[in-house]
């Protein structure tokens, strides 16, 4: 099967060559360049933006959250085991000594292996609420790669959809031109209407 560009080159100077053949051939070349160069470039730009955004969010989280060593005193009322979230399995009552020396107690997510009397580390925000740990570098990279891949795929898909629309329009135009030319030359060949 010949590509549109090869077909256009073979038809160059031929009375069978239509303008729609040239449009289709040039469109195929532009699409190839956009998919091969443009889509990856869009992916890299989106990945860079997502990475910077994730690193900024991680820095804000690190500034607002603090890691605290706590002692597990027991399971919280109504805690359900095996609700895994970032390595934590259940909510438990914990206690620790605050920076001002006062005793504090809260409900926090603790590892599944932690039992009463164990010391573990949990994260709290500036208002004293238990929160997940800040985003780490690996998660930021995963987010960036995912966003970059999605953006590159979306850009390639958009280019291919536009290409399909141009090919469809070129095909309609080509068929209309052939129909018009056949209406003009057909009677000479078939002997009808002469």
Report whether pLDDT(6) > 80.
no
Is the pLDDT higher at 3 or at 125?
Answer: 125
> What are the pLDDT digits (tens) for 143-159?
999 999 999 999 999 99
| Residue 60 token pair | 């804000």
Alpha carbons 46 and 39: distance in angstroms, whole number: 11
As a whole number, mean pLDDT of residues 84-110 equals 79
pLDDT band at 186 (very low <50, low <70, confident <90, very high): confident
pTM higher than the cut 0.85: no
Alpha carbons 150 and 146: distance in angstroms, whole number: 6
Report whether pLDDT(15) > 90.
no
> What are the pLDDT digits (tens) for 35-44?
999 999 999 9
Per-residue confidence (pLDDT) for residue 82, from 0 to 100:
43
pLDDT band at 4 (very low <50, low <70, confident <90, very high): low
pLDDT band at 139 (very low <50, low <70, confident <90, very high): very high
pLDDT band at 169 (very low <50, low <70, confident <90, very high): confident
């Amino acid at each position: 099967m010949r590509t549109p560009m090869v077909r256009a080159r073979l038809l160059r100077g031929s009375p069978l060559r239509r303008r729609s053949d040239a449009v289709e051939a040039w469109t195929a070349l532009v699409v190839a360049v956009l998919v091969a160069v443009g889509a990856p470039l869009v992916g890299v730009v989106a990945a860079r933006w997502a990475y910077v955004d994730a690193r900024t969010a991680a820095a804000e989280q690190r500034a607002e959250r603090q890691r605290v060593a706590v002692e597990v005193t027991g399971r919280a009322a109504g805690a359900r085991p095996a609700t895994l979230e970032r390595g934590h399995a259940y909510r438990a009552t914990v206690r620790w000594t605050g920076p001002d020396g006062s005793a504090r107690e809260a409900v926090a997510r603790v590892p599944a292996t932690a039992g009463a009397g164990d010391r573990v580390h949990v994260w709290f925000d500036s208002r004293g609420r238990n929160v997940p740990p800040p985003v780490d570098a690996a998660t930021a990279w995963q987010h960036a790669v995912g966003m970059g891949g999605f953006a590159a795929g979306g850009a390639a898909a958009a280019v291919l959809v536009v290409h399909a629309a141009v090919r469809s329009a070129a095909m309609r135009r080509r068929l209309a031109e052939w129909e018009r030319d056949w209406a003009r030359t057909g009677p000479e060949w078939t002997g009808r209407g002469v």
